[in-house]
């Protein structure tokens, strides 16, 4: 993904991942939820969202039931960047797997799950497929 990412605008993998992740949400998402999915600390998430908000790509909105809770949503500019600039790099990365036969993809997935299990056994927090 990094090799195909646009070089203008200081786009990084975490920034791109957050923008793409928000395109999949039907409503604003909590920073802790987003940070967990990206494997980022609350402090790093705050810095990341601050930068994207300053550029007008995301905005913070209040939770409907609890105004103290701030959620994050894409702006129209953020959606445009995600779809037009980052989306093609994600498709290029995904296309790498097109050359693998279905059986080979199954084997790769099996091996990656095995590596994740080994990491978990060593106390390293790795999300399972069921966790998304």
More confident residue, 127 or 119: 119
pLDDT at site 2: 46
**Mean pLDDT on 52-64:** 93
Clarify whether residues 43 and 71 are in a common domain: yes
pLDDT at site 127: 67
Domain membership flag for residue 3? no
**Tokens 């080979």, located at residue:** 104
Clarify whether residues 33 and 76 are in a common domain: yes
pLDDT at site 123: 85
Clarify whether residues 109 and 89 are in a common domain: no
Clarify whether residues 88 and 125 are in a common domain: no
Domain membership flag for residue 80? yes
Give the CA distances from residue 60 to residues 17, 30, 52, 56, 95, in Å, rounded to whole numbers and listed in that order.
17, 9, 10, 11, 34
Q: 130: domain range?
A: 100-132
Clarify whether residues 58 and 117 are in a common domain: no
**Mean pLDDT on 33-62:** 91
């Amino acid at each position: 993904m990094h090799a195909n990412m646009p070089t203008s605008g200081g786009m990084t993998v975490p920034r791109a991942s957050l923008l793409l992740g928000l395109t999949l949400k039907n409503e604003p998402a909590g920073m802790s939820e987003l940070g967990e999915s990206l494997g980022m600390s609350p402090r790093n998430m705050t810095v990341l969202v601050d930068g994207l908000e300053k550029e007008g790509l995301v905005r913070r909105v209040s939770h409907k039931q609890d105004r103290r809770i701030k959620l994050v949503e894409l702006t129209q500019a953020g959606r445009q960047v995600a779809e037009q600039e980052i989306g093609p790099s994600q498709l290029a990365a995904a296309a790498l797997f097109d050359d693998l036969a279905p059986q080979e993809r199954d084997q790769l997935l099996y091996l990656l799950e095995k590596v994740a299990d080994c990491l978990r056994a060593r106390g390293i927090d790795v999300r399972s497929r069921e966790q998304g």
